[in-house]
Each structure stands twice: as structure tokens, then as C-alpha cells.
Amino acid sequence: MSLRYSWPVNVGDMAASAPLLVGGGAACGHAAGAAQMGAERLGGASAATTVFGDFSEARQFHGAVTAARDDHHNRLAEHQGALTAYVARANETAQVFTGTDRRNAAAITDTTAGLA
């Protein structure tokens, strides 16, 4: 008896597809790279204090713009970290499902070997 290894694996309401998990991880990796690039660009961007004028309101506006830029920079860095973690989780989960499926298939094959 020969068992064929196939995806997706369906267990009750749960379905797992290793290729989809790895593909989703790759997409998260691309998004993490984009977030990192955005964070680096924002982190390196600055404008002269007087870019909006040399009066109190302009300096105040410059401060608000700088604070918003810093906030966006920090959020992008956080997103990059989270997305990178998703990549690792997706790959690990795909390996776990694949390993479990192969072990279970081998156990079934071993059990049914004497029946043929």
C-alpha cells in the first residue's frame, strides 16, 4: 500500500497548506522589507526648522510634523519586527504540519504493511 503525501490537510474545521503558509510568510517578508525601507527613509529625513517660515506658528508646525514623522518611523519599525516574526512563524508552522503529516503517513504505512 502506498500513501500519497498531499496538501491541504483538513482536520475538522481546520485546513493547513504548507505552500500557502510558506507563500504567506514570503509575502510578509516582502512587506517587512518595505516597512524597513520606509522606516530608514523616514529616519533619515529632516527639514530645516525654518522650512515653513521663521515665526512661532511655523516652528510649532515644524515640531508637529517632526513628531508625526518620528511616530511613523517608530510604527514602521514595529511593523517590520512583527512581520519578520510572522515569517518565522509561518515557516515553522509549515515544517510542523509537514513533519506531522509525514510521520502519520509512515505510521499508517507501517501498520498496513502486513495487511497486503
pLDDT in tens, 90-109: 999 999 988 988 898 888 88
Looking at the domain assignment, is residue 40 inside a domain? yes
Looking at the domain assignment, is residue 9 inside a domain? no
* Cell 512587506, residue located: 31
Q: CA gyration radius for the chain? A: 25
Helix spans in 12-55 (H):
18-44
Looking at the domain assignment, is residue 81 inside a domain? yes
Looking at the domain assignment, is residue 7 inside a domain? no
Looking at the domain assignment, is residue 63 inside a domain? yes
* CA nearest neighbour of 91 among 34, 26, 9, 16: 26
Confidence band of 16 (pLDDT split at 50, 70, 90): confident
How many separate domains does the chain show?
Answer: 1
Looking at the domain assignment, is residue 55 inside a domain? yes
23-61 residue pLDDT tens: 999 999 999 999 999 999 999 999 899 999 999 999 999
Q: Which amino acid is at 102?
A: R
pLDDT at res. 105 = 87
Looking at the domain assignment, is residue 3 inside a domain? no
State which residues form the domain around 99. 32-115
Looking at the domain assignment, is residue 2 inside a domain? no
Q: Quickly count: other Cβ atoms within 10 Å of residue 21's Cβ.
A: 22
pLDDT at res. 18 = 87
| Total-model pTM | 0.72
